[in-house]
Structure 1
Amino acid sequence: MSATILSPGSPNEDEVSFAEFLESCPPNQTRGISNIVGSHQGTTRYCIGPEIQLHCPNEKCNGVRVFRPASTPPFLSVEGLRNSYFIYRCSNCQVFTKTFSLALQENNHNDGGTAYKYGESPPFGPPTPARLISLAGPDRDAFLKGRRCENQGLGIGAFIYYRRVVENQKARIITRIADVAERLQTSPSDVQKLRAAATEDQFAKAMEMAKPYIPQSLLIDGHNPLGLLHSALSDGVHAQADEHCLALATSIRVVLAELSDRMTQLLKDEAELKHALSIILKNDAASKSEEGPPKGSTSSAGGGL
Structure 2
Amino acid sequence: MDVKNVFLNGNLSEEVYMKPPPGLSSPPNKDLGTLSYFLGLEISSSSDGYYLTHANYISDMLSQANLTNCKTIDMPTELNVRLNLHDAEPLRDFTLYRYLVGSLVYLTVTRPDISYVVHQVSQFIAAPCSTHFSAILLILRYLKGTLFQWLHFSSQSPLQLHAYTDADWAGDPTDRRSTTGYCFLLGTSLISWHSKKQFVAALSNTDAEYRTLADTSSELLWLRWLLQDIGVSFSSATPIYYDNISAIQIAYNDVYHERTKHIEIDCHFVCHHLLQGSLQLHSIMSHDQFADLFTKSHPPGRFRNLVSNLKMVFRTPP
Same-fold status (TM-score > 0.5): no
Structure with higher Rg: it is 1
Q: Which bin holds the TM-score, normalised by the shorter protein?
A: under 0.3
TM-score norm. by structure 1 comes to 0.25
